[in-house]
Chains A and B, each alone.
Chain A
Amino acid sequence: MVEQESPLKPVWQPGSHGNFAAGIGVYLSESAPGSIVQLAAWAGKEKAVLQAIKAVAGLKLPDGAGGGAPGEARAAFGFAPGKFLVIDEQEGLAERFTQALDIETGTVTDLSHGRTAIRIAGPKAEWVLSKFFAIDFSATAFPIGAGRSTVHHEIFVHIQRSAPTQFELYVFRSFARSFWQALCRASEEVGYEVQ
């Protein structure tokens, strides 16, 4: 496998920043998973793809729009009709899905090098994300495990809520540095720590 290099490296500044005297509002980090794989089911084959996710990744996704399963080692969520994003901290997930899913059922796209995974956690995570995206981040509208696809201006993002105050953002790699800098600026008012 080709060694992955973070696009955030030139602007990466670990430590506390902004208005953190009264406490850290959000913790920002790059989770850098080994695999990010997109699965797309042909019409009527969604159930077969969900079964493949269960067989390969061991994750059971709930029915319904944006349903997902969070996890440290592996996570998955739906982000569009019949389309799912599966994340694994290990490399090689795409090959395993290619073997498990035949072409009549759906397609497998390896995005491991095409997306940058950014984690935002902390008591002010909902507040900071609400400044970027016009969607409801409350726990009732956006439960743990659920996935959403939305945009910040032209920057397309997939979001999964992985814990009560923690979100995983999957951003196009080429936009990731710019997005990261905007995220840092937006986090200044609440105080942030880059980990």
Chain B
Amino acid sequence: MLITCPYCGPRNVSEYTYQGDGNRTRPDPASTDQAAWNEYVYDRLNPAGDHHEIWQHSGGCRAHLRVTRNTLTHVVTEVSFARDAGHRKSERHRKPGAHA
């Protein structure tokens, strides 16, 4: 699997570190909203298809990247610097407590 870093160009996935789901919104640290924290920590979309992810080019320029990767084919369709784009608002959320 290749990820094309906006700075370094196409590099092997072994140079990158997965930093998790890119759809999450961290609640206000002062918040005591249990449902919001539960969703942030545990609930994942787990889609079969395009997935928004955060990767770090740890074996290269060390930048954090927003990547859209297809979980079925591993085709990476979109890569940008996380710091430029800011947080991508989730398109949808799993409802807390919902069954798969």
Contact = CB atoms under 8 A, between A and B. Distances in A.
Contacts of B78: none
Interface stretch (A22-30, A101-109, A144-152, A172-180): A144-152
A9 B25 CA distance: 52
B59 interface: yes
A115 to B, nearest CB: 16
Nearest to A149: B60
B83 interface: yes
A80 interface: yes
A80 B15 CA distance: 14
Contacts of B6: 65
Contact of A151 (B9, B15, B63, B83): B15
A66 B8 contact: yes
A151 B59 contact: yes
Name the residue in B15, B63, B83 with the highest tally of chain A Cβ atoms < 10 Å from its Cβ: B15
Interface string B52-63: 000000011111
B61 A81 contact: yes
Contacts of B11: 134-135, 150
A63 to B, nearest CB: 13
Interface string A95-118: 000000000000000000000000
Contacts of B14: 134, 151
Contacts of A149: 8, 59-62
Nearest to A141: B9
Interface residues of A, number: 14
A151 B6 CA distance: 17
B81 interface: yes
A134 B12 contact: yes
A79 interface: yes
Interface of B: 6-9, 11-12, 14-15, 59-63, 81, 83
28 contacts: A43-B83, A65-B6, A65-B8, A65-B9, A66-B7, A66-B8, A79-B61, A80-B60, A80-B61, A80-B63, A81-B61, A83-B61, A134-B11, A134-B12, A134-B14, A135-B9, A135-B11, A148-B8, A149-B8, A149-B60, A149-B62, A150-B8, A150-B11, A150-B15, A150-B59, A150-B60, A151-B60, A156-B59
Interface of A: 43, 65-66, 79-81, 83, 134-135, 148-151, 156
Please provide the 10 A-B residue pairs with the shortest distance between their CB atoms, ordered closest to farther: A80-B61, A151-B59, A65-B7, A134-B12, A149-B60, A81-B7, A81-B63, A149-B61, A80-B62, A151-B15
